[in-house]
Amino acid sequence: EDQVTQSPEALRLQEGESSSLNCSYTVSGLRGLFWYRQDPGKGPEFLFTLYSAGEEKEKERLKATLTKKESFLHITAPKPEDSATYLCAVQGTQGGSEKLVFGKGTKLTVNP
């Protein structure tokens, strides 16, 4: 069974204080690993897809990396508007491969 564990559950940073969020996963065969951002009361918004170990993707202050067991979302010099819950999900290649399995998320708060 595919599983995703995100840590920490919550993270408070000062503006400009860089950090990383972790997503550990087990999957029978990885089709893709996804990062989403979710603001309160809204649906998740897509950030990145990673397909294979060693891959990296960047968008503004965010950089996602992938190994065979985990993914990191690095946040460089965060701003208050980066405050949100960040969700990680995996899609496997085995039965029911249309499904994504989500982690519980990391709630990030960036204080000015």
Partner 1 sequence: DVKVTQSSRYLVKRTGEKVFLECVQDMDHENMFWYRQDPGLGLRLIYFSYDVKMKEKGDIPEGYSVSREKKERFSLILESASTNQTSMYLCASNENSGANVLTFGAGSRLTVL
Angle at alpha carbon of residue 15, lines to 10 and 70, rounded to 5°: 45
8 is a site residue for partner 1 (CB under 8 A): no
Q: What are 19's two structure tokens?
A: 């950090």
Give me the half-sphere count of Cα atoms (radius 13 Å) on the Cβ side of residue 63: 11
- Min CB(74)–partner 1 separation in Å: 21
Span 38-97, contacts to partner 1 by CB under 8 A: 41-46, 49, 51, 87, 89, 91, 96
Strands 84-92 and 30-38: antiparallel
98 is a site residue for partner 1 (CB under 8 A): yes
Which residues bind to partner 1, rule: CB under 8 A? Answer: 31-32, 34, 36, 41-46, 49, 51, 87, 89, 91, 96, 98-100, 102-105
